Amino acid sequence: MIYEWQRVANDLERRIRAEEIPPGGRLENERELADTYSVSAGTVRRAVRELRERGLVETLPAKGSYVADPLPPAEA
């Protein structure tokens, strides 16, 4: 079973790795991501936390989440 937060995190990782969101680029804010993926803000928060754990994004308080530069290697 895949949870909604995992679906969102996996799609964001795909977009990051495809450089649709480039290294150093800012992710949409929580509300925009929630609208984009038709999920709750809590689901987005959990997905972004997962991306931080994967080393793909860094979150700066009151500034937002940014794609890591450089990106870590993709897991096999």
The SS3 call for residue 27 is coil
Residue 70, classified by CB atoms within 10 Å of its CB into exposed (0-12), middle (13-18) or buried (19+), is: exposed
Does the domain made of 4-57 have the CATH classification 1.10.3470? no
CA distance 71 to 43: 23
- Determine the Cα–Cα distance for residues 76 and 74; give it in Å rounded to an integer: 6
For 42-69, write each residue's pLDDT tens digit: 999 999 999 999 999 999 999 999 999 9
Its pTM stands at 0.94
Q: How confident is the model at residue 76 (pLDDT cuts 50, 70, 90)?
A: low
CA 63 to chain centre: 15
pLDDT per position as a tens digit, 4-56: 999 999 999 999 999 999 999 999 999 999 999 999 999 999 999 999 999 99
